[in-house]
Amino acid sequence: MPDYLLPYIPIAVLLGIAVFIALLLPGLSLVLGPKRPSARKLTAYESGMAPIGEAQRRLPVRFYLVAVLFILFDIETIFLLPWAITFRQLGLFGLAEALVFVAILLVGFVWIWKKGALEWD
């Protein structure tokens, strides 16, 4: 084994132990656990009441639109973290770049607001 791989042996051992335990415990539960199925145990549990209707229903497209917009703006604001870390080193140029970035985000937010994407009618 090359010398440059020796520091990674503890990580490999830890990963092996984690995988072993992750497979061993559910396996032992399946083998040693009690198996007394009944009609009551096999029914779906929903707040102590009998389920009514289907479990999966269609959601409106607006739900997905808001979810995608949230992810989009959330990811874009994550890009501000490296800027905040190196703020002092970037100086005025970094400040101007961040202001342009935030202005673009603001324009996008105003645009989706005017399009009515955030209204739930």
pLDDT in tens, 44-96: 776 667 667 776 777 777 788 888 888 888 888 888 888 888 888 988 998 89
In a domain, 10, yes or no: yes
CATH number where 70 lies: 1.20.58.1610
> Is residue 26 domain-shared with residue 70, that is, in the same domain?
no
In the structure encoding, which two tokens stand for residue 66, read together?
């808001």
Residue 35 in 3-state DSSP?
Answer: coil
**Does residue 51 contact residue 44 with C-beta atoms inside 8 Å?**
yes
pLDDT in tens, 72-84: 888 888 888 888 8
Q: What pLDDT shows up at residue 26?
A: 94
> Is residue 38 domain-shared with residue 65, that is, in the same domain?
no
Burial of 80 (0-12, 13-18, 19+ CB in 10 A): middle
Q: What pLDDT shows up at residue 6?
A: 92
Please give the model's pTM, rounded to 2 decimal places: 0.46
> Is residue 110 domain-shared with residue 67, that is, in the same domain?
yes
> Is pLDDT larger for residue 77 or for residue 21?
21
Least confidently predicted of 26-30, 106-110, 113-117: 113-117
C-alpha dist (Å) from residue 62 to 33, 56, 58, 72: 45, 17, 12, 15
> Which percentage of the chain shows pLDDT scores above 90?
26
Total tally of structural domains belonging to the chain: 2
In a domain, 87, yes or no: yes
> Is residue 67 domain-shared with residue 94, that is, in the same domain?
yes
Q: What pLDDT shows up at residue 56?
A: 76
Burial of 52 (0-12, 13-18, 19+ CB in 10 A): exposed
Which residues is 46 bridged to in the sheet?
49
The mean pLDDT of the chain is 85
> Per this entry, what is the length of the chain?
121
Q: What pLDDT shows up at residue 112?
A: 85
Domain extent, residue 74, equals 61-114
